[in-house]
Amino acid sequence: MSDEGLDGLFGGHSVLAILRGMPVDTTVALAERAWDLGVTAIEVPARDESGLEALRATVRAGAERGHPVGAGTVISTEQVHAVARAGAAFTVAPGFDTEVMAASETAGLPHLPGVATPSDVQGVLKAGGHWVKAFPATVLGTEWFRAMRGPFPDVRIVATGGMDAHNAREYLGAGARMVAVGSALADPDQIPLLAELV
């Protein structure tokens, strides 16, 4: 299910917006800015009640435009159930946990697990996934992405961690399918560059 679900949500897109740790109104405002730019892949980290509140509000705003919203930093099965109740369309994790991935899939939510090694990638493949989140991307570096294309040519990688409009093209060129940006959406100087990426 991860393949079909995430292909449908992410296919054809090069930017995933991560709206982390902001007040509800700011989160929704930045989501609307992203949608206006054509960035329809939105993740709201939901590790605590304030994150869940922001997720619920963004889900409601997205529903008005027909855009699904995912939940980030999902690291337990309890969180999976909480974000499912909040209306999340998919889940994202900083690492790979088979129980979290299975719980998410069972709840009908495609899951994007974090990876940093070839063993991580193989584990995701064995669990039935083909989308992974390379984290932290700038620590791994562009050569990591180029190296992963050899043994894993069909894996779709989302570069996450330290990404902005200035280095996104470099990582997309190295083999990332998407880049995940956060604070760049609040930077007026980066907005036109992000629009070009989309």
Reported confidence tier of residue 4, pLDDT bands at 50, 70, 90: low
Look up residue 125 and give its two tokens: 């493949």
Tell me the pLDDT tens digit for each residue of 124-136. Answer: 999 999 999 999 9
CB 30 within 8 A of CB 17: yes
Reported confidence tier of residue 81, pLDDT bands at 50, 70, 90: very high
Question: Looking at residue 15, which CATH number applies to its domain?
Answer: 3.20.20.70
Q: Which domain holds residue 93?
A: 2-197
CA dihedral 21→103→89→81, nearest 10 degrees, is -60
Model pTM greater than 0.85? Answer: yes
Choosing from 105, 133, 170, 196, the catalytic residue is 133
Number of domains in the chain: 1
Reported confidence tier of residue 1, pLDDT bands at 50, 70, 90: very low
Q: In angstroms, rounded to a whole number, what is the distance separating the alpha carbons of residues 84 and 88?
A: 5
Q: What pLDDT, on a 0 to 100 scale, did the predictor assign at position 186?
A: 83
Say whether pLDDT at 173 is over 60: yes
Choosing from 4, 32, 43, 99, the catalytic residue is 43
Q: Is 133 one of the annotated active-site residues of the chain?
A: yes
Q: Across the chain, what does the average pLDDT equal?
A: 95
